[in-house]
Chains A and B, each alone.
Chain A
């Protein structure tokens, strides 16, 4: 049993945290200029404030019975009942607290991925809310604490203290769960570590596909997830009459594991028609291999933020200076995996596994200075911002090959390439990444309001990225350029001809087309904008904005892009009490000549000693391919939001929107279109009853085109170099298109009612439905892989995939019963019913399905049907 005296003593200590010297200045906080940790809640209470939202039946005013509305027209909710307060000690402090604790029980398919995704539901005790606040009404000093604990992976605690208008300190600790798969059956041992090994009984390159499938079928089910655990402290407060400072440090640890990859060269080209010939299931290939592995996640990110701003002192300048430093550390920055299959059938070859470099440690720095000053003319203001940033990493690089899988003394297949030339860091041209990208930003703005009804502005913005990373794939041990694909497995299967290496003067390698250096992508962006708003009358205003965005990407398909935007806005209150906000935007993008392959400077033909093959360089891509970030574009965008008050107690909000993008490309993304509408109805007939509902529909369509190359020409004809769409290498007959058509519908309602001062019920229902169809069309069988020509017929191919579906219905109910003024009962329930289909996982029904040919998968995909329920019973104690 809690007694007031010891509690008061504890609370007084907390209150003391807020008793810093008063600075004669007025400060406020600026959370919304800093990224992250703005919201502390969980699925049990997404607002993090539910226990304090019981409406006060007295309402807001004796002068009118209902609530007022926002300037736009939405109803303000009724004020919440203020929690009871008690004096703290003999001074001017008062305090209040609330504790809600109980038990959560889950039933049904509680391992369903979508049920668990961001909610660590368990059958266990939980703290719905622990809250405490203390306040000194004389000095404005305060202490506030909120916390909730669903599990060790799903919890938050935050403490704030300070003095209004003077300073604030904050400390928090939180865990956020993220479940990535609950149907994972990794073949490997060592999940979570940097070394994945095969379970006993599997001998790489010797075990058959059936044997490995049998082992896989017995692997235990696992959940793959990552938990973000973070903590932070910060201070923000006045540093003088017009100066406000900020300092904060956050530290985040991410731990867990997630599905990953692991390629040992292709499998698909090596399959063949089944025993029954065309139309019967094919025989899996026995070369190459794909391995869906599991990688560890063991990250730490430490962020330091400092800020200093001036609230327009004597100089009249409004200054804002911020400095950010972020330090990312990856404690497991590589992954080795043993391959279950040999890349060639038969006795084990030298390449028995693969290796990954996981993300390197990196540092990031950013400083920004902003200033604004009023101008004498036309009620003007000048505003300038400048920022400099730098991203850097200098991790030690791995050897090109792993000595564990390509030991010294052995050779890569039959190529004669000794492993010892590549399984050491002596094979590298440099030992560290030495990577760096610097960024810069300047933004200048002039704003004027020459009359009460007219304002205009001009804005110019420059942003640039300079990638200073330089890395050459050169092996000083051999004098060769290039790299060994897929841990060397490509060389094992294809041989020297496509080992991935170039070497001048060596007939084996002097004509090989390969990348030999990194490509340092950079860009500059210059933007100019002119805009204004004219108030036609008290009810209507029109706005017009013109923007020219001139981008100069480097090492890309175009040397410059010009994006022009014209935007028209109309804001109106001329429809009765309604508020209309309408906007229409037209965009046109053009640019310099399109070079489909601008990367030759980083490929072997640009190296001295390159000998042009008599057949020429294989057309890397097709000339008419336009990448959608570089292609021409004509786009329109429209949006209208109408907020309509209905009587004194209801609001109807209607939104209509759509966009149409046409990229002017045959090959690449062709078009994007979205059309949608939302209707929300909010009704608050009294302080005790609230009804909110919404209906939302959206359809979208993305269409693309592509063309398969004529693989028969590669290595056999000089026509292989023809990059023209419609030519022999990329014939019209091989053209195909794909269309992604999605329909989304959402509906929901919440009803909240206070029956008496003792019982509050909240009921909510939410419905989500997404239906996606991926269709395709093609000119001829040339559009598909040649290895399938003898297996598939047009009837087999059809014209679409099965629909992708995500449907989720959630019914939730919350009942709070006040047993006494200080003791209450909370009953919580959530019932979830879902359906899911994704053709990526069609046919993956049981662990035995995870092995097909030389491919080993880990994830069966999300559960296709699930019912799950959460029940919770909590006792609420409060002051």
Chain B
């Protein structure tokens, strides 16, 4: 099929972009903004008090008294249909009031949360057995908050400025999500630096295909703090994160692991081998720095050199190889293809043109990785 001339494609591209920008004129914006942040004033405490329905406060006790329902236990691994209402250290006397009370004020939160996979699971449990397995399974008992909604700490909150500590917040989440991928949360760098689960997750909405993430993809979430790492994936050689084929969590477990960089496996190399199994070998002839760590030569987050190398060849190799004769000679601009002395040690794939099996060789003549 004949291709459109490039200029036509460019014009069409620009049309899409510029046309949209023109539509962003104030008039167009006014049309849409009227329905949203039109400045509806925040509700006062008395407004909220008037709106409160009769509640199912005390449902926790009622539930335990009902022989037909599973009792509420202290085990953090209880199923959703017996979800435990967590203690709120800042409101130790508070009682569970049931979702009906919460929804009286938080009607829109309730509506949005019902689309979230996370809340849906609680709904499924609550539908079977009672109101405990809903809002208060995460936010703690709500009676103090219902009485005084603006008092900080009266409910376990998971957002900016919350009086609840990060430890309190994460303890709630780990009440169900303990173990597995979170086995090493305690002591992990993200735990130690005071992050909360809701720095990365927003269990109240469904804005991502899975993982109830705070943004629509894993990579966007990680870039919230690690933009410096994400931009490295824009470099000449990179793994296909910008193209949507990979995620940071393909290699890293942000919930903690027994390695410093939060790798999912025991070592850097074992992580790399999961996609590059051919490099695993073992080979009859190993290359010491390769077997030790792929990071000796590669930057997995992106590089300005070919194949994620940290330096151009042959300089990369010459950091270690000063053996007699050919490895230790200075290569200059005259060794380029158009130089006075074109040199195979520099042109194209440089050292790898001859030492091709650099990751290891299984050839009986392969101790120098020629074959």
Contacts and interface: CB of A to CB of B under 8 A. Distances in A.
Contact of A655 (B215, B228, B255): B228
A378 interface: no
A417 interface: no
Contact of B245 (A118, A354, A372, A441): A118
Given A38-B247, A714-B324, A433 B108 contact: no
Given A303-B274, A841-B348, A137 B123 contact: yes
Interface in B220-252: 220, 224-225, 227-228, 231, 234-236, 240, 242-247, 249-251
Contacts of A742: 304
Interface in B2-32: 3-6, 8-10, 12-14, 16-17, 19-21, 23-24, 28-29, 31-32
B148 interface: no
A292 B353 CA distance: 6
Contacts of B370: 263, 485-487
Contact of A829 (B12, B79, B304, B352): B12
Contacts of A541: 194
Contacts of B215: 77
Contacts of B76: 311-312
A33 B184 CA distance: 10
21 contacts: A42-B245, A49-B208, A58-B36, A58-B108, A63-B106, A69-B161, A72-B195, A107-B5, A263-B355, A357-B361, A370-B183, A393-B281, A439-B267, A459-B187, A487-B365, A543-B193, A621-B322, A641-B225, A706-B322, A756-B31, A844-B348
A668 B328 contact: no
Given A53-B216, A107-B8, A653-B227, A62 B17 contact: no
Given A433-B284, A783-B329, A840-B348, A696 B227 contact: yes
B214 to A, nearest CB: 6
Interface stretch (A190-198, A213-221, A461-469): A461-469
A-B interface, 8 closest residue pairs, ranked by CB to CB distance from nearest: A41-B244, A843-B337, A140-B124, A46-B244, A261-B356, A843-B338, A30-B180, A869-B9
Interface bin, chain B: 35 or more
Interface string A439-465: 101010101000000000101010101
Contacts of A319: 179
Interface in B350-371: 350, 352-357, 361-368, 370-371
Interface in B183-207: 183-184, 186-187, 192-196, 198-200, 202, 204-207
A503 to B, nearest CB: 17
Contacts of B139: none
Interface bin, chain A: 35 or more
B288 A521 contact: yes
A428 interface: yes
A119 B240 CA distance: 9
B35 interface: yes
Interface in A606-643: 618-622, 625, 627-629, 641, 643
A418 to B, nearest CB: 17
B50 interface: no
B319 interface: yes
Contacts of A138: 124, 127-128
B333 A801 contact: yes
Contact of A266 (B247, B312, B341, B344): B344
A26 B36 contact: no
Contact of A318 (B178, B292, B306): B178
Interface string A385-396: 101010111010
Contact of B196 (A71, A736, A740): A71
B308 interface: no
B32 A754 contact: yes
A49 B208 CA distance: 7
B245 A678 contact: no
B17 to A, nearest CB: 4
A447 B365 contact: no
Interface stretch (B61-69, B93-101, B109-117): B109-117
Contacts of B339: 843
B342 interface: yes
A320 interface: yes
Given A519-B286, A657-B228, A839-B333, A140 B121 contact: yes
Contact of B120 (A140, A279, A680): A140
Contact of A32 (B253, B286, B361): B253
